[in-house]
Amino acid sequence: MAAGAPRIFVSHLAGVPVFDPTGDQVGRVRELVVMLRVGRRPPRVLGLVVELSTRRRIFLPMTRVTGIESGQVITTGVLNVRRFEQRPTERLVFGELLDRRVKLVETGEEVTVLDVSVQQLPARRDWEVDRVFVRKGKKGGAFRRAKGETLTVEWSAVTGFSLEEHGQGAESLLATFEQLRPADLANVLHHLSAKRRAEVAAALDDDRLADVLEELPEDDQIEILGKLKEERAADVLEAMDPDDAADLLSELPEEDKERLLSLMEPADAAEMRRLMSYEEHTAGGLMTTEPIVLRPDATVADALARVRNPDLSPALAAQVYVCRPPDETPTGKYLGTVHFQRLLRDPPYTLVSSLVDDDLQPLDPDAPLPVVAGFFATYDMVAAPVVDESGSLLGAVTVDDVLDHMLPEDWRETEFHLNEENGAAANGAESEGASAHGS
């Protein structure tokens, strides 16, 4: 753990208020949701269960949490208000981990879990359970207070929580594959049986499944999406990059597409419809609608803060686009692009409007794929703005989307040349699936 990273005992989080960025309270914390791992590795914190004023309990992913401090939780303000449903791979800290009997690894002595602490990983937005507060001695009954020495130990110092090394369920499988990149996990899923693939996909959290879907062949995407509950399918589509989600929606029957769009947030659905209005192999059909957009009075410091967002791809983080309000696509007048290297050369207080590169002509949304590819090759770009005839920024095309559409349609079907360990894991997963389900 990084020095200075805050450690928070979960008992201090129970019931604390949750606020959006404007300071309005949206609810209170009622649970922490974690995923156990194989062996003695600490569990990963997936998110919080938040109770709204209506008594409805919803899931707040940790990726949407921007701060936990002074008895409050701050969110990005983007909340999915659908009712929380616990998945097979998820464990509730208050309901399932606390008051549990486990053993100290060193002595074999049984202890009772009174509390656990969580800590944020360095340079990432991920959180882990790192320590356990336990009491020695027998567990207290309903009408008597338990006595015994209390101590705080590392997660690895106790046994009785974690998954078996060779478990066959989706929970063990996901824990085994947790460190894989989305493209590598997509390759694993592709080689599983259809039944096993659906089980693992159903157990992944929305953000992880969205990342994996983006890397799967079209047939696998449609198959997996079709086996999810419709409300969850809509959530996963919202979590995907807009251009990838629009491509997937375009492949669905019209009735299914409209039903999923009706379940999405209105703003997200409108964005999908706008992207689907462009021909697939044009700049408009390739672009993402979520580049970094700044107003002319923003500073270099503002720009660098946006670039640091870990959710951005390297291509999108390579430059920012300066536009007049509104600063969400489609924006006001597009003024120009500021490249990341230029941001590093100027003082933090410099206005981005003084640094714009306005020499290069932006792409027209109807520009065909060969023209887009030629633009990238000619000017050595990794991303390019797409601007309409009125001068508004519509989005940005990134080099990975250009490559995706220039490669043969079945390129994802080929082997990913995984390392030997990941290849063995895929074969083992298929064997487990056959053993557990008779596939």
DSSP class of 411 = G
Report the distance separating Cα 16 and Cα 49, nearest Å: 12
Task: Give the DSSP letter string of 322-370.
Answer: EEPSP-SSS-SBEEEEEEHHHHHHS-TTSBGGGS-B-SSPPBPTT-BHH
Amino acid at residue number 209 = L
Q: Where in the chain is the domain with CATH 1.25.60.10?
A: 170-277
Answer yes or no: are the C-beta atoms of 101 and 110 closer than 8 Å: yes
What is this structure's pTM?
0.68
Per-run averaged pLDDT (10 residues), the chain, 439 residues: 68 92 89 84 91 90 84 84 83 89 91 92 80 82 60 91 54 66 86 84 87 91 93 92 92 94 91 93 94 96 91 91 94 96 95 92 94 93 95 95 82 51 46 37
Quick one: DSSP state of residue 79? -
Task: Give the type of residue at 116.
Answer: V
At residue 213, the pLDDT reads 95
Nearest to 304 by CA among 352, 354, 336, 337: 352
Handedness of CA 204, 209, 211, 215 (dihedral sign): positive
| CATH 3.10.580.10 domain span(s) along the chain | 293-406
Quick check: 25 and 17 in contact, CB under 8 A? yes
Cβ atoms of 156 and 143 within 8 Å: the answer is no
| pLDDT for 342 | 94
What pLDDT is attached to residue 426?
A: 44
What is the predicted pLDDT for the residue at 85?
86
What pLDDT shows up at residue 375?
A: 93
293-406 has which fold?
CBS-domain (3.10.580)
- What CATH superfamily classification does 170-277 receive? MgtE N-terminal domain-like (1.25.60.10)
